[in-house]
Amino acid sequence: MKTVIKMRDIVTAFGDNVIHNGISLTVNEGEIYGILGESGAGKSLLVKEILKLIEPKSGEIEVLGYNLENISYANLQKLRRSWGVLFQFGALFTSLSVAENIAMPLKEYTKASKSLIDKIVAQKLDIVGLKRDAGELLPSELSGGMIKRASLARALAMDPKLLFLDEPTSGLDPIGARAFDKLILNLRDSLGVTVVMITHDLDSIFSIIDRMSIIADKKVVAEGTLKEVLSSNHPFIQRFFKNEYTAKRFKV
């Protein structure tokens, strides 16, 4: 199985405040990989390090065969065209329409004609389950679920190999959240994209995630399938997965 992301012995610190102290994890091609952990564990920071938005204090990160420590500017730009990001609250440009938001990476990174960009935008709207006329709306005119789907369409604009999702179902009602889970699963299967998602949504964890890492005590305390993670006796895993609510609902 091909590995697309490797993190080895990552240390993240801000002054004397150490967030990660030796994080290691591996993401394989074509899987839906979850990053789990309690609030403040630095889950989003890990993704920002993979995206090279911030630098770890030490350690090694490899993405799609590129070592981020010594990557050239040209290769970094190439790499950035290979991933898409869905931020937790959408992060749509509020002054732009949905269609203009989706078109933004195409205008930034390609020389595609306006007619081709318009076709791609329409296609991405269809893929995420939005009607074509939704492209004319401003973000302020969208529901929470539509914001998530519009942001996902923008993340898919460049046909990425990697898709990063930060709490994709947060703020959605249970029906909307499960529909979004199904959409993620369908996208992975139909497009062959590798998905890395930060989540604490138990339904997502139990239904669509293939493998996951659990961050606690500034390290990855367990990594693998749900069955493999549940075999751990780490206190956080016991609290998260084996509480009375979880045990009753998911028969853990």
- pLDDT tens digits, 87-105: 876 688 889 999 999 999 8
Ordered domains of the chain (ranges, CATH): 31-45+85-250 (3.40.50.300)
Q: Is the pLDDT of residue 54 over 80?
A: yes
pLDDT of residue 249: 66
Q: How confident is the model at residue 201 (pLDDT cuts 50, 70, 90)?
A: confident
Compute CA distances 202 → 35, 59, 243, 250, whole Å.
Answer: 12, 30, 12, 9
Share of the chain above pLDDT 90, in %: 63
pLDDT of residue 58: 94
Residues in contact with 200: Cβ distance below 8 Å, sequence separation at least 6, in sequence order: 36, 167
Strand ranges, E, within the chain: 3-14, 17-28, 32-37, 58-63, 66-67, 83-86, 162-166, 194-198, 211-216, 219-224
Angle between helices 114-127 and 98-109 (to 10 degrees): 120
Cβ atoms of residues 24 and 40 within 8 Å: no
Query: Which SS3 state, helix, strand or coil, does residue 31 take?
Result: coil
Residue 171 to residue 178: CA distance in whole angstroms: 12
Phi, psi (deg, nearest 5) at residue 23: -75, 130
Q: Mean pLDDT throughout 239-250?
A: 70
Q: Mean pLDDT throughout 207-219?
A: 94
Q: Mean pLDDT throughout 47-53?
A: 93
Q: How confident is the model at residue 245 (pLDDT cuts 50, 70, 90)?
A: low
Phi, psi (deg, nearest 5) at residue 2: -75, 135
Query: Which SS3 state, helix, strand or coil, does residue 108 take?
Result: helix
Residue 10 to residue 204: CA distance in whole angstroms: 27
> Which residues, listed in sequence order, are joined to residue 37 by a DSSP beta bridge?
215
Whole-number average pLDDT of the chain: 90
Residue 169 to residue 38: CA distance in whole angstroms: 17
Phi, psi (deg, nearest 5) at residue 203: -60, -45
Question: What is the 3-state composition of the chain as percent helix, strand, coil, each rounded to the nearest 5?
Answer: 40, 25, 35
- Residue from 60, 59, 126 nearest 99 by CA: 126
Cβ atoms of residues 33 and 209 within 8 Å: yes
Phi, psi (deg, nearest 5) at residue 91: 55, 35
pTM for the model = 0.90
Q: Give me the residue label for tokens 């895993």.
A: 237
CA 89 to chain centre: 13
Q: Which amino acid is at 128?
A: V
Q: Is the pLDDT of residue 250 over 80?
A: no
